[in-house]
Structure 1
Amino acid sequence: MPDPAADPRADHWPAPRATSPVSAVVSLPGSKSLTNRALVLAAIADGPSVVRRALRSRDTTLMAQSLSAMGAEVDTSGDDWRVVPGDLRGPAHVDCGLAGTVMRFVPPMAALAHGDIAFDGDAHMRNRPVGEVLRALRGLGVDVDDAGRGALPFTVRGTGSVPGGTVVLDASASSQFVSALLLAGARYERGVDVRHDGKPVPSQPHIDMTIAMLRTHGVEVDDSSPNRWAVAPGPVRAVDHLIEPDLSNAAPFLALAALSGGTVTVRDWPRETTQAGDALREILTLMGCEVAHVDVLDAGSGSGLRVTGPERLQGIDYDLHDVGELAPAVTALCALAEGPSHLRGIAHIRHHETDRLAALATELGGLGAHVVEHPDGLSLTPAPLHGGVFHTYADHRMAHAGVIVGAGVDGVLVEDVATTAKTFPDFAGFWAGLLGRTPGPPLDEQG
């Protein structure tokens, strides 16, 4: 095997090209966002519960391990994960990996534990924002030791209870700052009254998701005033959850239909959902696709969302502020469109797994795309694309963008495609199978 340091192509996966219209019906793994919220609520509920069809990925496994480390029993041996709440305690260590939901959702819960809960993660996670959550916890009476960094590593020194009350924060960098406090807030002595002061909060659907799940657990939430969310103190009722498919993970598969002029159907697409990925229906329609819910699939029983691609893929002018996680896949598709596109409202995705705006401009530009980076978005003008290396920055959504471009352009090599395991185990094999190619290893493993 060549030395990766000596071979610049090491760990570069040849993305398969869609040489004809793709026709497929796909079943996707469960939603990471729903799974991790369900696990947190189950661990602080008033009895055992089950998270059915839980997503099994690195992020969700890290969440399960963190809850177990603090005293909950989380059985992940089957497709349905069983959770039994326990007395939360330290000392314990939480590995956040690259999971923003673990880094942000678990500390407010750890504040309810007796003892120290230490948090750290992959090196890149030390650059991701969490300081607003830590400052808010201090304002609610929690002792947090972060040596003034406002970032990983840090320790939450739990005393078994949290006074709670009103706290003001700036959640303009991530809606997860709000969700983190709401998820544990019912267990605080006075509940929690979260007030946002700053630029508009991004990804509002994720806050809506959190509120909907809290209400399912019998928690009283007042969101009647803009930029204010109040959770009343009280028990968190044990509830079993059935996890929906991850609709954001559907983006590359539906993009296959759009760019190839084919038809792809995603099974079990909900008629009503709080997932941000549901915006794909509108976005793909604007790009010229035919989009429809179907009650009976051609391949058998069951419902789904069917997308048929157009003869000519159109560019769009679209505000992605509330659905920023779709930006990499949508940007890649816009790079293949016949008209110009402008994607805006997404300054906050500079603080995701990587600076996604800069990364997309760099990588698509390296393949010949004409991309202009703005403070809060990207503009794309049609240009002939060519093959080359598409770097992913340890970011699963960047890998999705890379394989989308690779489906429309010969010779695209996606670096570290395995990072997609964050939310979709064996994504590369599944993707290659859809395009009629036997899954192959990265170039550094090929003969």
Structure 2
Amino acid sequence: MTDDLWPAPTASSAVDATVTVPGSKSVTNRALVLAALASEPGWIRRPLRSRDTLLMASALRSLGVGIEDTVNNATGGTGGGDAWRVIPAGLRGPASVDVGNAGTVMRFLPPVAVLADGPVHFDGDPRSHERPLHGVIDALRALGARIDDEGRGALPLTVHGTGALDGGTVTVDASSSSQFVSALLLSGARYNQGLEVRHVGGPLPSLPHIRMTVEMLRAAGAQVDAPEDGGEADVWRVTPGALLGCDLVVEPDLSNAAPFLAAALVTGGRVTVRDWPRRTTQPGDRLREILTAMGGSCGIGDEGLTMTGGGRILGIEADLHEVGELTPVVAAVAALADSESHLYGIAHLRLHETDRLAALAKELNGLGGDVTETADGLRIRPRPLHGGVFRTYEDHRLATAAAVLGLAVPGVQVEDVATTGKTLPDFPGLWTAMLAGSAAPATA
């Protein structure tokens, strides 16, 4: 329907803007889980307030956790401003959790729910029923939890919490989602024997997200042994113990910076993303390397990261296995390049909010592109593109990729741009402000 179509703005000149990107969804939702399991209250400052994070907060509240909105900085935290104060409590059931289509909610909370005193029912959007959850379900069952899913290995399901779980050693095939490992580790310190997670199966996607989980656990006082510390490959151990209530300032979501930085390349302009961390576990930090290889140049200064376009977009050969969430925007830039691109190592994207590989091929080709799926990626041969409807399949990253195309291709109409609210509130407003010379997030 036309009412659902957003006309993607076309850039009339090189973009020159400074952008404030809202906080990281991955950090915010991990922080909420860790704060809920802590032994004392904690603060999450500058949290992302989007559909995925509000679903996580609502789910934890339904389990008895106190999450208070506050702008008080009296505790001396450095974040100031917008914050959540999280007050842990005994987890209770019965409860019902709406996961929406948030992978972090559907995967991180069943391991928490086994610690609740009563049943916890999980359900969500129709697409959530199709996303893999078997790794978490099977692992929890192996550790002694009772879960009713009628053999689906997916939602809907009910976790029958007993208030405790012994824990121990468990194997999981996380080749379809690194979130299986993160989900188990986040709750592992609260299990009586702690937890040892052994990945078996194909290569793990999105390893930076597991490293993020490990670092955040350690910041909360947990003792974690991980492969990158010289330990056994694909094995993580969390020692049982109390978690501390932290005072955390959430970093900007670097993956959500992708379309804004891409705008610099596409228009031959310059975009600065404020507060880019000099050290981070976020996969989005790879944008510096990827977009530089595609013809940009970048540098980090006091204000943030600045990406400058060189007036020419180069094709790229890139293994995106660890940073698959960047694929839609990278594919959009590649479709505007002057030579062929091959993006690979991303077969797991077929199991995300939608089948991202099939969707990107179909929608780019619908605008005149020449994109073919490979066994584990996309081959993109640039062609002159034309306007048309770009469908998003309720996938926020497809919508932002379409906006990038629209900068250079007049007449691109984005279906359901509101789906960007999953992780990036008021994306259309931010995008329009960037084209006007500045961009800051709307106030919550």
Q: What TM-score range do you get, normalising by the shorter chain?
A: over 0.9
Q: Distance in 2 between matches of 1:382 and 1:394?
A: 26
> Unmatched 5+ residue regions in structure 1?
296-302, 440-447
Q: Distance in 1 between matches of 2:97 and 2:248?
A: 24
Q: Which amino acid aligns with 1:276?
A: P
Aligned pairs for 1:34-433 (under 5 A) are 34-76=27-69, 78=71, 79-223=82-226, 224-295=231-302, 303-433=303-433
TM-score by length of 2: 0.94
What's the CA shift for 1:429?
Answer: 1.5
Q: Distance in 2 between matches of 1:278 and 1:56?
A: 21
Q: Distance in 2 between matches of 1:18 and 1:253?
A: 13
Instruction: Classify the secondary structure of the residue corresponding to 1:93.
Output: strand
Equivalent pair of 1:41/1:183 in contact (CA under 8 Å): yes
Aligned pairs for 1:7-46 (under 5 A) are 9-46=2-39
> Unmatched 5+ residue regions in structure 2?
72-81, 440-444
Aligned position for 2:442: none
CA RMSD of aligned residues (A): 1.1
What's the CA shift for 1:158?
Answer: 0.4
What's the CA shift for 1:388?
Answer: 0.3
1:336-377 residue CA offsets vs partner (Å, 9 max, x unmatched): 111110000000011000000000000001001111111200
Instruction: Classify the secondary structure of the residue corresponding to 2:23.
Output: coil
What's the CA shift for 1:10?
Answer: 3.7
Aligned pairs for 1:428-443 (under 5 A) are 428-436=428-436
Q: Which amino acid aligns with 1:40?
A: V
Q: Distance in 1 between matches of 2:135 and 2:266?
A: 40
Q: Which amino acid aligns with 2:110?
A: P
Equivalent pair of 1:17/1:435 in contact (CA under 8 Å): no
What's the CA shift for 1:187?
Answer: 0.3
What's the CA shift for 1:432?
Answer: 1.7
What's the CA shift for 1:19?
Answer: 1.7
What's the CA shift for 1:75?
Answer: 1.2
1:182-219 residue CA offsets vs partner (Å, 9 max, x unmatched): 00000001111100110010000000000000001110
1:96-146 residue CA offsets vs partner (Å, 9 max, x unmatched): 011110000011001001000000001111101111100100011111010
Q: Distance in 1 between matches of 2:223 and 2:164?
A: 19
Equivalent pair of 2:29/2:53 in contact (CA under 8 Å): yes
Q: Distance in 1 between matches of 2:287 and 2:68?
A: 34
Equivalent pair of 2:265/2:312 in contact (CA under 8 Å): no
Instruction: Classify the secondary structure of the residue corresponding to 1:157.
Output: strand
Aligned position for 1:299: none
Q: Which amino acid aligns with 2:278?
A: R
Number of equivalenced pairs? 424
Q: Which amino acid aligns with 1:324?
A: G
Q: Distance in 1 between matches of 2:246 and 2:312?
A: 47
1:385-439 residue CA offsets vs partner (Å, 9 max, x unmatched): 00000000000001011101111100000000000001111111221222249x9
Q: Distance in 2 between matches of 1:252 and 1:244?
A: 17
What's the CA shift for 1:76?
Answer: 3.2
Instruction: Classify the secondary structure of the residue corresponding to 1:318.
Output: strand
